[in-house]
Amino acid sequence: MKVKGTLNSIRGKIVLIYCLLVFIATTIIGVFIMSQLEAYYINSTKDNLSKAVQEGSLLISLNSYEDIDKHKEEIQESIDAWSKSLQQEIFVVNESFMIIAASNETKGKSAIDILDQGLILQGLGGGSTEKTGYINSQTARIPTISMVFPVGGNKDARGVLYLRADLTSVYNTINQSKEIFLKAMIIALAITAALGFFIAKSITEPINNVTKLAKKMADGDFSQEVSIKSNDEIGRLAEMFNILRLKLNETLTEISNEKSKLETILKYMADGLIAVDLSGHIVHANPSAMAMLKVSKQEIEERNYDDIIKEINPRLTIKETIEKCKLAPVEENFEFGGSNYAVRYDHFRDENGSDVGIIMILQDITQRQKVEKMQMDFVANVSHELKTPLTTIKSYTETLIDGAVEDPETEKSFLEIINMEADRMNRLVKDLLQLSRLDHQQEKLVKKNCDLTKLLLNAVKKVELTANGKKQHLNCLFDSEKRILIIGDKDSIEQVLLNVLSNSIKYTQVGGRIDIDAIIHDKKVAITVADNGIGIPKAELSRVFERFFRVDKARSRAMGGTGLGLAISKQIVEEHDGVIKLESKEGIGTTVFITLSLAASRGESNID
């Protein structure tokens, strides 16, 4: 495995390539040299034989015989003499393929079994030729070269001179040369491998350093820097790596910041966001979406979108939403868990523009619809409240203009009614303006230490005359001698007390009872105004602080009420970081609770 890993590395490949190049080059050179050397030795042997025969007297003497068969002895003597200077075998063959003279013991034998018949035929045909081959001995095959020369002329050859040289020494020399060359090649390959290793190391070591640093970068460590040791391609690679590191670090930091911003936006946005892929897997859901759908993070991860949404709104399954938003984004409203939601959804696509899923924006519109309804009710109520006195004023004014009333008493009565309706409109406008200022925090409240006991006594005193007119009993249960210090705007707090007391007097029958008390508990004071009046129906308790709400509309209008008193009181109490609430039972009575904070200091200064 280690060898395989080494060969797969750049260093191993470089060494292998170097060795292969040297091996191929030396092999080609060796083959070429060996073939040239073999050709040289063989050609040298042929040239020596050819010169010896053609320049010597042997062939000339043979050509001088008219009939070589008649001069066998003489020819044999010549061959014996020549064989001493020539190491090759010499044969003289006649036209009958009989060896008539030879340098060995083959004289008198047929040349067909001993010599190459083809060469003899070519020689008898008048041509000089040669051929390399092998002869078989008892111990081995002997390489040879055979040469044939015609005797007696080129056309009427009377025989052939056949020379055969042993090439064993030539091939032994060539084989030794091959062995020497092979050893030299092995040494050269070893040297090449060693040099290649060091050369490869000088190339791959910087690359290995870059690889190690790249791995650290992959693990998130961008503090590494490659040292540049040369100006070549490796040095430029290191330089580009350092530039890449800086750019990548900047890019990832920017992406991380953008991701953090996006995650923060999605986490804290009021609207819910859900991303679903085409298979129905929920890719992302922000906390608002999970709260609206009333599912946990674990359910988002484990359950399919359709399984969740079918319990909420079957019309929003992945199949139906994909079908609906084929051409354009779709907006729908639905109700779930007592709340109203608006949902807008559309396809979302990948970088190639292919659809990969649906993205949804959920918006809780319950409060918005409630506000819109309140606004519509408010406009309708204001219009209604103004329409009645305006109609009355217009009717009585037209009657007076037409001169139909001649009785001064009647005329005076009409004018008093007109004046009363104008006062009623004036109170309505004044209350509306105050509510508007409170809504827009334009009402200037001067908060300082004030005596709540004194404010309660003043408020009771101001409504006492009205209560006496209905023979009602105003009972102050609190200690009138004990001061209760609070921080607040004296006029505003007194207005709240007057509104609550006035409502109790209005909705309590003749001879009724109204109890006022103030109890201190845990740095707060709780003011209670309890009556035994007509009470409020249970179904309407949640609306008592709405603008223009009246329990008994006819009685309220008759007594000059605008239906804004409790709404204004609630705004003022909340501006003082207090709480106002109401409990009531129809036919038994109503109790209003107002909780305010006590002043931190009970000093004598700055007390109203």
In the prediction, which pLDDT does 554 show?
A: 47
pLDDT tens-place string over residues 504-528: 898 899 999 999 999 988 889 999 9
Mark whether 471 and 490 lie in a shared domain.
yes
Alpha helices, DSSP H only, in 285-324?
A: 287-293, 297-302, 305-309, 318-324
Residue 339 lies in a domain: yes
Q: How far apart are the C-alpha atoms of 292 and 339, rounded to whole Å?
A: 9
Q: How many domains does the chain have?
A: 3
Task: Tell me how far apart the alpha carbons of residues 482 and 468 are, in angstroms, rounded to a whole number.
Answer: 26
582 vs 423: which has the higher pLDDT: 582
If asked whether residues 420 and 543 sit together in one domain, one would say no
Question: Is residue 509 located within the same domain as residue 455?
Answer: yes
Whole domain around residue 354: which residue ranges? Answer: 269-364
Contacts of 215 (CB under 8 A, 6+ apart): none
Which is more confidently placed, 525 or 79?
525
pLDDT in tens, 151-206: 876 667 788 888 888 888 888 888 888 888 888 888 888 888 888 788 777 777 77
Q: Is residue 232 situated within a structural domain?
A: no
CA–CA separation, 444 and 441 (whole Å): 8
Mean pLDDT, residues 258-268 taken together: 80
The residue out of 377, 410, 439 marking a domain boundary is 439
Say yes or no: 504 and 580 in one domain: yes
Residue 274 lies in a domain: yes
Predicted local distance difference test score (pLDDT) of residue 188: 85
Mean pLDDT, rounded, for 587-600:
89
User: In this structure, are 429 and 452 located in the same domain?
Assistant: no
Does a structural domain hold residue 117? Answer: no
Residues 460, 589, single domain; the answer is: yes
Using CA atoms in the order 106, 112, 118, 124, what is the torsion angle rounded to 10 degrees? Answer: 70
CA gap 83, 69 in Å, rounded:
20
- Give a yes or no: residue 197 inside a domain: no
What pTM was computed for the model?
0.42
Q: Are residues 528 and 411 in the same domain?
A: no
Please say if the pLDDT value at position 440 is more than 70.
no
Q: How far apart are CA 57 and CA 74, in angstroms?
A: 13
| Nearest alpha carbon to residue 128 among 69, 51, 67 | 51
Among residues 439, 462, 484, which one ends one of the domains? 439
pLDDT digits (tens, 9 = 90+) for 199-243: 777 777 777 777 777 777 777 776 777 776 677 777 777 778 788
Residues 540 and 577 in one domain: yes
Q: The CATH number of the domain where 503 resides is what?
A: 3.30.565.10
CATH of the domain at 292: 3.30.450.20
Task: Assess if residue 509 is contained within a domain.
Answer: yes
In a domain, 7, yes or no: no
Predicted confidence (pLDDT) at residue 446 exceeds the cutoff of 80: no
Ranges 210-214, 551-555, 590-594, most confident:
590-594
396 and 477 share one domain:
no
| 345, 316: one domain | yes
Where does the pLDDT of residue 1 fall: very low under 50, low under 70, confident under 90, or very high at 90 and above?
Answer: very low
Q: How far is CA 506 from CA 175, 375, 458, 477, 582, in A?
A: 137, 27, 19, 21, 16
Q: State which of 364, 385, 402 marks the end of a domain.
A: 364
- Please check the confidence at residue 598 and state whether its pLDDT lies above 50: yes
- Residue 399 placed within a domain: yes
Tell me the CATH number at 386.
Answer: 1.10.287.130
Please list the helix, strand and coil fractions of the chain in percent, rounded to the nearest 5, in that order: 55, 20, 25
Indicate if the pLDDT at residue 337 is higher than 80: no
Q: Are residues 349 and 427 in the same domain?
A: no
Question: Can you read off the two tokens belonging to residue 3?
Answer: 């060898």
* Domain identity same for 527 and 548: yes
Strands, DSSP E only, in 465-604? 473-476, 485-488, 513-521, 524-531, 579-585, 589-597
